[in-house]
Amino acid sequence: MKQISERLYTNAVNLNHKNLLNCAEQAESAKVVDLGCDDGSLTVELARKIGTKNIFGVEIVDASAGKATAKGITVRKFDLNNKFSFEDNFFDVVIANQIIEHIFDSDNFLSEIHRILKLNGYAIISTENASSWSNIIASVFGWQIFSLTNFSSISQGIGNPFAIHKGESSIESWNHVRIYNIKGLKEYLEVFGLKVELIKGAGYFPLPSFIGNLDKTHCHFMTFKVRKV
């Protein structure tokens, strides 16, 4: 069962990456920043789709930051719960893939995204969905929802027998703080002057991942394209 869960999860992650790429607009002069860029692999792929070489990243894990830097990304290291170390109206594109669920001060996070974006610039924000069928079913059984099994600094996969990382040692930067649903996050983004232009979905466990883009309310990964207006 765990192998099936892992395969379905991987398929959903891959489709989510395609959704991110499909939100990108061609613009050779665009300045792009990836908040939580990890090793920079997806950052570079998105920048290639946009057609720009003006690539920045934020990453707090030193080993990952080093790999991203080696890929030509200008990496800065700071806590995304605090004021971002960038000028006002600096970026055309902000990327935040699977980051907002890790943030304690999400008000600051969204406010800062709005601040560093140029007028008419856009952000691509992707996260897990509290209302995915897999999370709903887990809750019915009294289990911890899949999207909130990694919250301890001691161990991952707590409270759900089918959690992907169950029993593994915890990495603090991987811990989830809160999980949103689609209507809640849409309204939350709009509070900060980020107009929602597009929503895409991926993952629909145990059914094929593409169904998540048909029923976005219950998809596992939801991706928002929002614009500063």
Cβ within 8 Å of residue 10, ≥6 positions away: none
pLDDT given at position 170:
64
Phi (first) and psi of residue 228, to 5 degrees: -80, 115
pLDDT given at position 3:
59
Q: Walk along the chain (229 residues) and give the pLDDT tens digit of each residue.
A: 555 567 878 999 999 999 999 999 999 999 999 999 999 999 999 999 999 999 999 999 999 999 999 999 999 999 999 999 999 999 999 999 999 999 999 999 999 999 999 999 999 999 999 999 999 999 999 999 999 999 988 888 999 998 888 888 766 667 999 999 999 999 999 999 999 999 999 999 889 999 999 999 999 999 999 999 9
Architecture per CATH, 2-130+174-228:
3-Layer(aba) Sandwich (3.40)
User: Would you say 127 and 12 are in contact if contact means Cβ atoms under 8 Å apart?
Assistant: no
pLDDT given at position 83:
97
List the chain domain ranges: 2-130+174-228
pLDDT given at position 1:
52
pLDDT given at position 153:
85
Tell me the three-class secondary structure of the chain, residue by residue.
CHHHHHHHHHHHHHHHHHHHHHHCCCCCCCEEEEECCCCCHHHHHHHHHHCCCEEEEECCCHHHHHHHHHCCCEEECCCCCCCCCCCCCCEEEEEEECCHHHCCCHHHHHHHHHHHEEEEEEEEEEEEECCCHHHHHHHHCCCCCHHHCCCCCCECCCCCCCCCCCCCECCHHHCCCCCECHHHHHHHHHHCCEEEEEEEEECECCECHHHHHCCHHHCCEEEEEEEEC
Pairing type for strands 74-76 and 91-97 reads: unpaired
